[in-house]
């Protein structure tokens, strides 16, 4: 199999968001088993200046939907960023996964050298090649926010491990 922009962008994005859903399932099960208000977990953060779990999930989804849209030259769906519950966060991931399924692979393949200009900071922009954007911006952002969501739950005692991050449900025989 040859590595392509589409196989990398679509496959990795789909897998990481699916695994994030699994991690959220473990977080919700933990809250239920210990009679913890689930909103305590979705609102928790690792440090005072970091975003809470719910925002980490929203940004992971945004990294995928906006990133794929920019590379493919299609419109990204707009989400309201109003999710608070585990169920709502999983729904957002589901909408992002549904969007992934609509991105034409042929719009990604061949975009390695396409100039991608995107917003950074407050009012700034940056331009990278499609390949550099995918491998040096979009996917690292996805990994960062999924990892941070994982770490918030792990910090709160959720029994989640590396295999859950890498393999999702398959880690637990599902």
Q: 3-state DSSP call for residue 161?
A: coil
pLDDT at 174 over 80: no
The angle formed by the CA atoms of residues 39, 43 and 47, to the nearest 5 degrees, is 150
pLDDT at 156 over 70: yes
Using pLDDT thresholds of 50, 70 and 90, give the confidence band for residue 2. confident
Does the pTM exceed 0.85?
yes
φ, ψ (nearest 5 deg) of residue 115 = -75, 125
Quick: pLDDT tens for 77-125: 999 999 999 999 999 999 999 999 999 999 999 999 999 999 998 999 9
Bridge partners, residue 54, by sequence:
none
- pLDDT value of position 151: 98
- pLDDT value of position 40: 97
Domain boundary assignment for the chain: 5-172
Using pLDDT thresholds of 50, 70 and 90, give the confidence band for residue 1. low
Instruction: Looking at the structure, give the CATH architecture of the domain made up of residues 5-172.
Output: Up-down Bundle (1.20)
Q: 3-state DSSP call for residue 55?
A: helix
* Helix boundaries (H) for 73-170: 86-100, 105-108, 130-133, 139-155, 162-167
CA nearest to 86, candidates 24, 149, 30, 16: 24
Mean pLDDT, residues 141-167: 96
pLDDT higher at 148 or 169: 148
Quick: pLDDT tens for 14-55: 999 999 999 999 999 999 999 999 999 999 999 999 999 999
Mean pLDDT, residues 52-77: 98
pLDDT at 173 over 80: no
């Amino acid at each position: 199999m040859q590595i392509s922009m589409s196989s990398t962008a679509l496959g990795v994005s789909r897998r990481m968001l699916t695994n994030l859903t699994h991690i959220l399932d473990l977080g919700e099960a933990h809250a239920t088993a210990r009679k913890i208000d689930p909103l305590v977990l979705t609102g928790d953060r690792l440090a005072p200046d970091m975003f809470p779990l719910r925002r980490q999930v929203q940004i992971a989804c945004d990294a995928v939907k906006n990133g794929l849209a920019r590379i493919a030259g299609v419109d990204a769906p707009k989400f309201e960023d109003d999710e608070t519950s585990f169920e709502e966060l999983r729904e957002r991931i589901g909408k992002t996964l549904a969007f992934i399924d609509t991105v034409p692979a042929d719009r990604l393949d061949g975009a390695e050298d396409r100039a991608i200009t995107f917003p950074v900071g407050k009012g700034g922009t940056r331009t990278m090649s499609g390949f550099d954007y995918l491998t040096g911006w979009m996917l690292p952002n996805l990994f960062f926010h999924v990892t941070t969501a994982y770490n918030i739950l792990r910090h709160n005692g959720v029994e989640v491990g590396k295999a859950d991050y890498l393999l999702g449900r398959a880690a637990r025989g599902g």
